[in-house]
Amino acid sequence: MVVHGSKIMLFAGNSNIPLAKAIADKLKMKLGEAEVGRFSDGECSVHIGETVRGCDVFVIQSTSYPVNDNLMEMLVMIDALRRASAGRITAVIPYFGYARQDRKARARDPITAKLVADLLTGAGADRILTMDLHAPQIQGFFDIPVDHLLGIPVLCRALMKQNFIKDDNLIVVSPDVGSVGRARQMAQKLNSTLAIVDKRRPKANVMEVMNIVGDVKGKTCLLVDDMIDTAGTITQGAKALIEVGGAKQVFACCTHAVLSGPAMDRLNNSVIEKVFILDTIEQPKEHKSSKIEEITVASIFADAIESIYGDLPVSKLYE
């Protein structure tokens, strides 16, 4: 650990304790003592069990399901740490909830991602550490520093160990136009070509595939997205690659496995051979499936925390 003028401390809410412990293990540390629970009426209850005065504190909490409970836990923890005179507070948010509400899609819509940014800042966070924001411009919603880690390098390192990656006919596929940039990064790292599933979405969480841009016939396809929520986009895209494009087989990967509603049924019944996900969101036991392989982000977050603590560049982790 880098020598620093103040002590470093890690705390965690309840959203993803396994990841928080894994990050602490990588840093050869223990999580700080904190009681994070609920009062009988459902209100969030937080008690920090040791002194944090003057410390460089990192609070690890994904704002995943239940989103509002986990967000409130983080806000109350940050407030408690600030009132306990922590020297600097970094909110470590592997998965940033509300990121899809980054603009006014219709008249009188809120921009909730901006509201969450203001809440975190108002609670007392001095900086943010997160990964693969659904809309990268959310970094500009904050008036404090934001370190935005990328999931593609982590996924690539793990995927390079898979046999299907060595297929000369491998092609990386973006499941929609919005994910082209991310898929292009993956294609460059894997020295592969790129295809796009052109789709139209009649309403939220409902996708209609139109056509496929690129030649995928007889090829092994790797679908790349930042998140899989209800899995409609990824499974229908995979089906189109096989039935319309004539692809040989389809794999998929994403940073954030939200997997809400019918997601698991859709994935288990889909033509996708395997889905590679990062552990930014803790998966419940009922999400265990032979089709899902989880890859940890503990190392990259540990490296980022060490760099922030030592006032060193985080940019090296983008490679």
For residue 293, report the phi and psi dihedrals to the nearest 5 degrees.
Answer: -125, 125
Catalytic residue among 199, 248, 274, 291: 199
Angular region, 261: left φ>0, alpha ψ -120 to 50, beta rest: left
DSSP readout, 205-218?
TEEEEEEEES--TT
Here the tokens at position 261 are 């509603």
Question: CA triplet 44, 78, 140: central angle to 5 degrees?
Answer: 115
Quick one: angle between helices 180-189 and 152-159, nearest 10?
A: 40
Q: Output the furthest CA–CA distance in the chain (Å, rounded).
A: 62
Known catalytic membership, residue 199: yes
Here the tokens at position 94 are 């592997």
Please identify which residue in the block is written with the tokens 């096989």: 242
The DSSP bridge partners found for residue 86 are 53
In the sheet with 56-60, reading across from the earlier edge strand, the strands are 8-12, 56-60, 88-93, 127-131, 146-149
Residues acting as catalytic residues: 199
